[in-house]
Homo-oligomer: A and B are copies of this chain.
Amino acid sequence: MNNYGESNGDSNVHEKQVEGHDHCENGDGSDNRVILGIDGGTTSTVCVCIPLFSSSKSLPNPTPILGRAVSGCSNHNSVGETAARGTLEEVMAEALSKSGSDWSAVHAVCLGVSGVNHPTDQERILNWLREIFPSHVKLYVQNDAVAALASGTMGKLHGCVLIAGTGCISYGFAEDGREARASGAGPVLGDWGSGYGIAAKALTAVIRAHDGRGPQTMLTNKILKALSLSSPDELIGWTYADPSWARIAALVPEVVSCAEACDQVATKILVDAVQDLALSVKAVVQRLHLCGEDGNGSFPVVMVGGVLEANRTWDIGKEVMKCIQEQFPGAHPIRPQVEPAVGAALLAWNFLMKESTGNSHS
By a beta-carbon cutoff of 8 Å, the part of chain A in contact with chain B is: 77, 117-118, 180-186, 188-190, 200-201, 203-204, 207-208, 211-213, 233-237, 239-240, 243, 248, 279-280, 283-284, 286-287
Contact = CB atoms under 8 A, between A and B. Distances in A.
Contacts of A182: 211-213
A201 B187 CA distance: 11
Contacts of A185: 204, 207, 235-236, 239
Copies of this protein chain in the complex? 2
A283 B117 CA distance: 42
Contacts of A234: 118
A234 B190 CA distance: 15
A117 B237 contact: yes
A233 B235 CA distance: 33
A237 B248 CA distance: 22
Contact of A186 (B183, B186, B201, B240): B240
A288 B180 CA distance: 52
Given A188-B203, A190-B200, A248-B188, A284 B212 contact: yes
Contacts of A233: 117-118
Nearest to A208: B190
A118 B240 CA distance: 13
A212 B283 contact: yes
Given A118-B233, A211-B183, A283-B213, A239 B189 contact: yes
Contact of A207 (B190, B201, B248, B284): B190
9 contacts: A181-B211, A182-B213, A184-B236, A185-B204, A211-B284, A212-B283, A212-B286, A212-B287, A213-B280
A146 B233 CA distance: 17
A286 B211 CA distance: 11
Contacts of A181: 211
B117 A213 contact: no
A213 B190 CA distance: 12
Given A117-B237, A118-B237, 15 more contacts: A77-B240, A117-B233, A182-B213, A184-B236, A185-B207, A188-B200, A188-B203, A188-B248, A190-B207, A211-B280, A212-B284, A212-B286, A212-B287, A213-B279, A213-B283
